[in-house]
Amino acid sequence: MNRVDVVYGGARYSVPHRDIADLQAEIGDAVTAGRSHWLQVNSGEGILEPAYLLVSPGASIALLDVSATASADD
């Protein structure tokens, strides 16, 4: 299963069923265009709640390719 973790504002979120290249393109397109973008992520553990992160030029955000790490450990 593809999953990317997102670190934003010191908190960790997850995005299931997406790959890192797809998210990089989505975020990169918005930032390149100079516009803000609401990125839908999951928050919490166990019972996940939808959360929306405001990504804009200058925002500090990190994408962690959890799927690649899990595959390398197998």
Average pLDDT over residues 15-44: 93
- The full length of the chain comes to 74
| Cα-to-chain-centroid distance, residue 47 | 18
Residue pLDDT, tens place only, 53-66: 999 988 899 999 98
d(CA 58, CA 5): 20
Please tell me the pTM assigned to this model: 0.82
Token pair listed for 35: 């516009």
pLDDT of residue 66: 86
